[in-house]
Amino acid sequence: MQKIQNSKRIIAIVLGLSLLMSSFLLGLYLGSNNNPEINKAASVDFGPFWKVWNLINEKYPNGRTADQDKVWGAISGLTSALKDPYTVFFPPQEAKLFKDEIAGSFGGAGMEVGVKDKVLTVISPLKGSPAAKAGIKSGDKILKIDDTGTADLNIDKAISLIRGVVGTKVKLTLAREGDKEPRIITIVRETVSIPTIDTELRKDGIFVISLYNFSENSASLLRDALREFIKSGSSKLVLDLRGNPGGYLDAAIDMASWFLPMGSPVVKEDFGDKQDMQIHRSKGYDIFNKNLKMVILVDGGSASASEILAGALSEHGIAKLVGEKTYGKGSVQELINVTPETSLKITIAKWLTPNGVSISEKGIEPDVKVVPEKSPSVASVPEGKNKVEAKDAQLDKAIEILNK
């Protein structure tokens, strides 16, 4: 009797396993038909992955890591294989922090950072920010954030470490060109108010517009500044994009449209072999006559939308570029929800100038290269002493060109 019961159990288990396997194979078949990527993955050997998965479970001594956390880690490794610092997977906690930071829930140092030659680098400190007041400069290489080395950090993780509660401090270990030893700068985090634009009509009749970012309202602010320029009666314009880390693409296209005829290419969006190249064109406001003389100031802190605008106006012969080579941030990212709690920020395209120059690979070279003269930084001058005003060799060269 016992043997008969055992036989029935075995038959039931076998039938159950058969049904389970049939369901799995049916699901795999249906899934592969609905998702062609599974068919592509079928040619990849996942054996090493599962071997390492099992070895971790069997041998790793410091407690058991949740399987779901290992999945998040595997996806992060998948994105890092692209060797693109701007493509990042956010597990649940990091995804929440990223969304909070976008919403402005945290204080910070007030600077844009990027990856240059595989090193975390300051693109630009924002005007009047804690970083600027502490003496941070464009081109500073960030070696440590507090006690965390940056060599293996993706850019978004680095940003999350720099940002924090208003009033707290963050210590940055920096390598600066010309320094023999790294320098340590401590910054008190603040709620950063980002300036957008300043205007000045100089005594010599040259009108200067300083644009600090490409925010949502920057295009309308530039329109107002250009109206002020026209009312001044001047025909000589300096657009200062030094230290401008960029921002909205639409703002750059709208700004270029004030100077270019309808349909002129402003920037090309290259998706590789994923889809056809998209050309973003001028809306054709084109309000200036041929009497306009224009110089755009750029430097290593001019990035992204700054490079798009400078490249377009230079290649169409509207403006001369004076200063230093721009940063070279010419990639487009899209934020995609992977699950309700996780997200992927992935590079989907690269920017090219109207003439096809890759901004990411080459940056924008100025027509006239001018290296700024070195002078003591404001932060290095003791309290109570006269501040040393730096001579602005780049602006001086722009004025010289406009007055010729």
CA 158 to the chain's CA centroid? 12
Q: Are 260 and 312 in contact (CB under 8 A)?
A: yes
Q: Name the residue type at position 315.
A: E
Active site residues: 304, 315, 329
Q: Are 140 and 121 in contact (CB under 8 A)?
A: yes
Following DSSP, what letter does each residue of 324-373 receive, concatenated?
S------EEEEEEEEETTEEEEEEEEEEE-TT--BHHHH----SEE-PPP
Counting Cβ atoms within 10 Å, is residue 138 exposed (0-12), middle (13-18) or buried (19+)?
A: buried
Return phi, psi of residue 72, to 5°.
Answer: -60, -40
Distance CA 336, CA 89 (A): 10
Strands (E), 151-225: 169-175, 183-188, 197-201, 207-211
Residue in 348, 352, 313, 361 with CA at minimum distance from that of residue 211: 313
Using the 8-state DSSP alphabet, how is residue 382 labeled? Answer: P
Residue in 328, 330, 334 with CA at minimum distance from that of residue 351: 330
**Residue 404 token pair:** 């010729």
Following DSSP, what letter does each residue of 157-171 receive, concatenated?
HHHHHH-BSTT-EEE
Instruction: Give every CB contact of residue 373 below 8 A, 6+ residues apart in sequence.
Output: 390, 391, 393
Distance CA 123, CA 138 (A): 5
- At which residue do the structure tokens 């910054």 appear? 187
Using the 8-state DSSP alphabet, how is residue 20 labeled? Answer: H
Q: Name the residue type at position 195.
A: P
